[in-house]
Amino acid sequence: MRILSMILLTSGMSSMGISHGASLAVSSPLQEGLVIHMGFDATATEYDSYTGYTGGINAWGGTGIASGGAFGSTGYLNLAGASGAHPGTSAVSATNISANHFSVNFQFKDVSLNSNYVLRMTTDTGRTFQFETIGNSIQLFVSSSQGNFYAGNVGTLTGNTSNWQNFTMTAGDGTISLYLDGTRTATYNFGDADLGKLNFFQLGCGNNGVNAGTLKMDDFSLWNRDLSAEEVQFLAEHPASDVMVPEASTASLGLFGLFGLLSRRRRR
C-alpha cells in the first residue's frame, strides 16, 4: 500500500507533477451538475472533472490507497487517523457551488466512533458543515459565523461499520436532508437563509487535521444541485461511476430508463 497523508486539490498545477483528471461531457441525468468524482482506484490523486475543472491534486505523507473498494472497485481511500484529503480553498471556490443547492455522496466503512471527523465543509459566509462521530452514529453540526450549532443524526452505525455504507447529503429549497444507504434519516429547514458558496471541504478530519478519523472512503462525488430522493436511492445501490460516461448518446434517456441500462453491481 502506498502511504500518503493528505490530498490537496488545488487550482493550479500539482506540486508533485501529477496531471489533472479528464473533463468529461455530461451524458446522463446524474451527471447534471456533477462537479467532481473521486474513485480512488489507482492512486489517491485520481479524480474526474465534469465541469471543465482542471486543477491538479497534490498528495503527500499518511493516508493512502488500499485494494478492494466499494461495489468491487479496485481501490479505496484509507484514512488511518492522519490528516485527511481536502481540496484547496481557491479550487472549490472556483466551482461556484452554492451551499443552498448542492449534494455530496460517498461510500464509507470501518469508521472510528470516538468523536472523530468524517467530513468538514465551509462556505464563504462563515458557515461550517461538519460530520462527526458521536457515540454509535454520525452527527451533522451546522454553524454560522456567530455560532448556532444544529445537530442531526445521520444514522446508527453499530454492527455495520465493517460493511460499505452510503452517505448522501442534499441541500435545496431551504432544506438539508441526510441519507444513510438511501433512506432519509434527518431533515432540517434553514428557510431563506443564504448559506453562501462552498470554499473548502476536507475528508477524514476537522480544521487543520483536528480529530482525524479512521475510516475507509470510496466513490466521493460533489454536485452543484440537490439530488432527488430517487437519485439518492440509486447511488446507494450503484457506484456513481455507472452514470459517468464520456459521450452524450444516452442524454435523451429518462432517469429511470437510464438506470435500467446500468450495471447491477452491488456493494460487497
Instruction: Write the single-letter amino acid at 65.
Output: I
pLDDT digits (tens, 9 = 90+) for 141-168: 877 655 566 667 776 665 556 889 999 9
- pTM for the whole structure: 0.76
Residue 262 has pLDDT above 70, yes or no: no
Alpha helices in the chain (DSSP H): 89-94, 229-237, 255-261
> 17 vs 216, which has greater pLDDT?
216
- Residues 141, 132 contacting (CB under 8 angstroms): yes
Grid coordinates representing 200 are 473548502
Strand duo 86-87 + 3-9: pairing? parallel
pLDDT digits (tens, 9 = 90+) for 188-208: 888 888 889 988 877 777 666
**pLDDT range class, residue 266, cuts 50, 70, 90:** very low
434519516: which residue's cell? 185
- Residues 141, 162 contacting (CB under 8 angstroms): no
pLDDT digits (tens, 9 = 90+) for 90-131: 667 777 889 999 999 999 888 877 777 788 888 888 888 888
Residue 224 CB-half CA count within 13 A: 19
List the domains of the chain with CATH numbers.
Answer: 3-261 (2.60.120.200)
> 179 vs 114, which has greater pLDDT?
179
Query: Alpha-carbon distance 100 to 226, whole Å?
Result: 9
Average per-residue pLDDT for the chain: 70
pLDDT above 90 covers a percentage of the chain that reads: 15
464563504: which residue's cell? 124
- Residues 6, 83 contacting (CB under 8 angstroms): yes
**pLDDT range class, residue 227, cuts 50, 70, 90:** very high
End-to-end CA distance of the chain: 21
pLDDT digits (tens, 9 = 90+) for 238-257: 888 776 654 433 333 344 44
Residue 76 has pLDDT above 50, yes or no: yes
Kindly state the average pLDDT of the residues 37-65: 61
Coil, strand, or helix at residue 209? Answer: helix
174: region left, alpha or beta (phi > 0 left; psi from -120 to 50 alpha): left
Q: Give the model's pLDDT for residue 138.
A: 80
Q: Which of 136, 139, 127, 116 is nearest to 186 (CA)?
A: 139
